[in-house]
Amino acid sequence: MQRFEAAVILMKTNSKEYNVLFPDRFIEDDFTSQKLCLPFDDLVINFLNSLSKALFNDISVKNYPDVATFAFFCRKSNITSLKDKYLNNDEFKIGRGIVFHITPSNVPVNFAYSLVSGLLAGNANIIRIPSKQFEQINIIINALNSLKKILLFKEILNKIVLVGYDKKSIATDYFSSLCDVRVIWGGDETINTIRKSSIKPKSFDITFSNRYSFTVINADEYVKEKNIKKIAIDFFNDTYLFDQNACSSPHLIIWLGVESNVIKSKNIFWSELNLILNNNYELSDIIAIDKLTNFYMQSIDQNFLKRNNPLNNKLWRIELKELTSKIELYKCAGGYFSEYHAENLKAIDYIINTKYQTMSYYGLTNDQINNFLFDIKPKGVDRIVPIGKTTDFSIIWDGFNLINSLSRIITVS
C-alpha cells in the first residue's frame, strides 16, 4: 500500500515515471471526473471522421500504408456502417469508464485502433504507446493536435491520454489503479507481468496474447489467376509490412490442389514475391541470424523438412514433408515460411489449437470455408480473411466484440 501512495505522489508532481505525449499533461482529477458516452456517439463519429481527414491531409501518410489504412477505417461512412452492424438499439449501453490500453511494441498503429475501440464504446482512454520510435505514431499524434483548435471536439480530446514509459516504471501500477477495464496487447510473459499490477475489484482485463496465423492457397485456382502481382503485394502487406511480427501475419503456408498445380503455383507465387522484396524490404543482420537459428532448431525437432534454395536471404521457405502439432513453436520474423501440401482442409485439423488466430486464404469458396468450420469445429482460429486483409482491424478481434466488452448494459424492468 505504501508503494501505491508513493506512485500517486510521484505522478502528481510531474515525476519522470512516464511521459505524456498527448495532450500536454495528465491531471488525474479532471480525467477521472469525465462523463461517459453512449456507444457510437455522434460526436465521436464526427471526431473520427475529422481525424481521418487530418491524416489524409498529411502528405507523409502516403509513405505509411498502415496509417493510410487507419485513416480509411476512421471515415464516417465506415464507422456508421459498424454502428448499424454492431449496435443493438433495444439495449441501453454506456461506456464502462476508464480503459487503460497497453499496446504492443512491434506494431506501430495498433495503439490507434485500440483507442478508437475505447472511444466508440463510450470510454475515456489512457494508452501506453510503444517505447520504440515509430514515425507513424508521430503522424497520428500530430493529427490529434491539429484537432485541438476545433472547440466542438474538446470533450472527446479530453478522453484521450497517450503516455510512454520504461518497463521498470511504476506507472503501470498507477494507471491500472485508475482503470475500469485494462486492455493488454502482448506476449504471454508481458501479460502475466502486467497482471501483477492490481486493478479495482470490479475492473477486469481483456488480453490479446501471442497468436499464430497461416495461409491456405488453392493452387488449382491460383494457376488461373491473371493478376499474380496483386496477390503477391497483398501477401507482402500481410507479412513483411510488419516484419512478420503481427499476430495475424502468416508463418505457415498450406497448399491445396493437385501436385502439378502446387509445384507451378509455388514457383510463380514466390518468384513474384521476391520481385517485390528486392526493392521494398531490408533485412537486418539480427533477423538473418534468427532465421538461421530457427531453422537449425526446427531441423532438430522435425526430421522431414528441407530448405528450398532461396532466391535471396529475405525469403526462407521450409518445405515440410510432415505437418506436426508443434509447428507454431517455429514462428520466426523477417520472411520465414513453413509450407505444406495438404490433401484438403480437414488434413490440418489436428494442428489447430487455441494459439491459432487468423487463417488467410486464396481460391476458397464460402461453402468450402463453412464446411471446414462445421466439420472440424476448430479450437483455434478466430478470423478467416482473404490474403491482403489479415491486418485489417475489426470490432470483433480474437473472438471479442470490443464494443460489448468495453461497454455495459443497463437493464430496465
Over 70: is that where the pLDDT of 100 sits?
Answer: yes
* 184 and 240 co-located in one domain: no
3-class SS at 83?
helix
* 225 and 189 co-located in one domain: no
- Encode 260-276: b = buried (16+ Cβ within 10 Å), e = exposed: ebbeebbebbbebbbeb
- Whole-number percent of the chain with pLDDT over 70: 94
Write the pLDDT tens digit of every residue in 282-301. Answer: 888 899 899 999 988 888 88
Q: What is the Cα–Cα distance from 208 to 102, expressed in whole angstroms?
A: 10
Over 80: is that where the pLDDT of 136 sits?
Answer: yes
Phi, psi angle pair for 350, to nearest 5°: -70, -15
Write the pLDDT tens digit of every residue in 74-96. Answer: 999 999 999 999 888 888 999 99
* 55 and 176 co-located in one domain: yes
Over 90: is that where the pLDDT of 268 sits?
Answer: yes
Range of the domain at 193: 2-210+398-410
Q: What is the Cα–Cα distance from 360 to 363, expressed in whole angstroms?
A: 10
* 391 in a structural domain: no
* 85 and 196 co-located in one domain: yes
Contacts of 92 (CB under 8 A, 6+ apart): 409, 410, 411, 412
* 393 in a structural domain: no
Q: How many domains does the chain have?
A: 2
* 196 and 317 co-located in one domain: no
Q: Which residues pair with 397 in a beta bridge?
A: 400
* 249 and 161 co-located in one domain: no
* 64 and 119 co-located in one domain: yes
CATH code of the domain containing 223: 3.40.309.10
